[in-house]
Amino acid sequence: MGRIAVVGAGMAGMAAAARLATGGHEVVVYERGETYGGGVGAFARDGFAFDTGPGLLQLPAVYRDLFVKTGRESLEDSVELVQTDPAGRHVFADGTDVSLPNASRSGVIEALDGAFGPGSGERWSEVLVRARQVWEGVRRPLLEEPIGDPKPLSRDPYPARRKGLLRRPPHLADVAADELGGDPRPAALLEWYALGNGLDPRTAPAAAAVLPYLEQSFGVWYVRGGMRALADALYARCRARKVEFRFGAGVRGVEVHEGRVRGLRFTDHSTGAADMVAASVPLPCLPQETLPSGGKDLRPLAGARDEPGRCTVHVALRGSRPAGAAHRTVVHAADRGAALDWVFGRGRAEVPAPGALTVTVLRPDDPATRPDDGHEAVTVTATVPRHAAGRTNSGSHSGSTSGSGVDWSGGDFVDAFAERMLEVAERAVPGLRERELWREVRTPRDVERETGAAGGSVPVPSLPGAGGALFRPPNRTPFNGLYFLGGWAHPGGGLPHAGMSAAIVADLVAGGPGGSR
């Protein structure tokens, strides 16, 4: 048993700490901020409460396994999980409005046939059948085990479909165009799962079809009281396992001697001994001197990517939440190409037109989120370019760009963009702005400041195909006793992946092959 330092008190760091402490190790978590949870945060004001990170949970089995392996109380003993129904409502530019039931293949087929016409549901189902083959082939080697030989996973496993000639679609957008009957509405639905995860469906591999498969097969869940309650429960589990937390502790470097980790160096110039270090901080913002040899040997592990972030508007509303309102509604852009160009293109600093913006609206039916039943808490989110500091252009509707990012420091630009988001969101919540009491806007710049993620980027999940472009750095490093986990390491971003990476690292530390056993 040894002394283990975990860098970062996000969900991956805490999940690893709980597992390692259960294994008998002395574990200390060092967090540069003043609280735990990382991106799973909360904002409260005037009796309203909002999640500042993910608002829904997929694959809760990952956290069920974590709680079973680290204590007596199960996940359901620690938080109240609610399966949302419908899983999501989708509103399209032509007025089509469809709600998809949670984890019901037949229900989804019926809903899509009713909204898009006969045969639409079966075509959608056939895509997900092929996505299931992807899932069954890559689940263990890509998500539940350390990354091995990347070459087999670099090839897209999405099955070829006979259409004239045997053809394997190269990108998710090709699946949407070729296999969904030429209707732009189900195409937009399929592409949204990529966009919502920070991926451009025009360049994401066809295997990204696994994203809607996971949601529609295993369901979508809400944690009563807000997703922050899951972070609270995990923190409590860590404390019960005698994990020590040190907040306000910025890590400046890793002490290495003859290729083995010896401890940490902190920004206040103090040091701390450790036999092993598990770093769950976002790798792109890990200070260069943190990496042994000045990062020379680990530079591939710390390479930043121009991945997008999210802009979030929390809105306090007067008036009750209507009975039967969907927990999640996606308002799809009329011009999908323009919407994707704005997020993933370069040099686009203007606030997009209403038809060139897709937003997601969360309306939890949870008394804990509002002061009373005469009010409602609504969160509107959009995938947006990452923050790139630079000159702000004059005018209230422009901001400068740098590379693939936007300068989110300009107040006029941020205000105009938030207003545009709410304008689009009114298609899901009629009269939203008339009911508004106040709003709180969070941009990628805020995320960068609070979590340290470079540019406020949100890490995307690892996916097979694309020549391995979406693989994350391995959890095991060339240095004895140094491990990486969390969204910027294998197997990538998302709450389930955070738990998976923690299980892999904990098992590697224990001398196993990696993974939850």
- Interatomic CA distance for residues 152 and 362, integer angstroms: 38
- Interatomic CA distance for residues 314 and 446, integer angstroms: 14
SS3 444: helix
Angle at the Cα of 196 from the Cα atoms of 192 and 201, rounded to 5 degrees: 50
Spatial CA neighbour of 231 closest among 492, 9, 73, 444: 9
Q: What is the pLDDT of residue 493?
A: 95
Residue pair 144/504 in contact (Cβ under 8 Å)? The answer is: yes
- Which CATH fold topology does 3-40+227-304+459-509 show? FAD/NAD(P)-binding domain (3.50.50)
Q: What is the pLDDT of residue 287?
A: 57
Express each pLDDT in 13-35 by its tens digit: 999 999 999 999 999 999 999 99
Question: Model's pTM, two decimal places?
Answer: 0.93
Amino acid letter, 460:
V
- Interatomic CA distance for residues 464 and 421, integer angstroms: 33
Q: What is the pLDDT of residue 306?
A: 76
SS3 97: strand
SS3 441: strand
- Interatomic CA distance for residues 280 and 233, integer angstroms: 19
Spatial CA neighbour of 210 closest among 458, 492, 486: 492
SS3 annotation, 363-428:
CCCCHHHCCCCCEEEEEEEEEECCECCCCCCCCCCECCEECCEECCCCHHHHHHHHHHHHHHHCCC
Q: Where are the domains of the chain?
A: 3-40+227-304+459-509, 105-217, 308-456
Q: What does the DSSP 8-state code read for residue 476?
A: B
Do the strands 260-266 and 436-442 form a parallel or antiparallel pair, or are they unpaired?
unpaired
Q: What is the pLDDT of residue 253?
A: 86
- Interatomic CA distance for residues 272 and 261, integer angstroms: 11
Helices (H) and strands (E) in the chain, counts: 15, 23
- Interatomic CA distance for residues 292 and 288, integer angstroms: 9
Residue pair 376/321 in contact (Cβ under 8 Å)? The answer is: yes
Q: What is the pLDDT of residue 516?
A: 67
Half-sphere CA count of 418, side-chain side, radius 13 A = 21
Helix (H) or strand (E) run with residue 66 in it: helix 61-70
- Interatomic CA distance for residues 68 and 15, integer angstroms: 12
Spatial CA neighbour of 475 closest among 511, 505, 453: 505
Spatial CA neighbour of 301 closest among 89, 477, 61, 508: 477
SS3 annotation, 300-352:
HHHCCCCCCEEEEEEEEEECCCCCCCCCEEEECCCCHHHHHHHHHCCCCCECC
Amino acid letter, 248:
G
Q: Would you tell me how many other CB atoms lie within 10 Å of the CB of residue 391?
A: 11
Q: Name the one residue in this structure whose structure tokens are 């080697």.
A: 141
Q: Which residues contact 135 (CB under 8 A, 6 or more apart)?
A: 210, 213, 214
- Interatomic CA distance for residues 366 and 364, integer angstroms: 5
Helix (H) or strand (E) run with residue 446 in it: helix 444-451
Q: What is the pLDDT of residue 289?
A: 56
Q: Which residues contact 319 (CB under 8 A, 6 or more apart)?
A: 374, 375, 376, 435
SS3 18: helix
Q: Name the one residue in this structure whose structure tokens are 């059948």.
A: 129
Spatial CA neighbour of 359 closest among 424, 267, 446: 424
Q: What is the pLDDT of residue 302?
A: 44
Q: What does the DSSP 8-state code read for residue 472?
A: P
R_g of the chain computed on alpha carbons: 22
SS3 162: strand
Residues of the chain with pLDDT under 50: 164-165, 296-297, 299-304, 347, 391-403
The distance of Cα 500 from the centroid of its chain, to the nearest Å, equals: 14
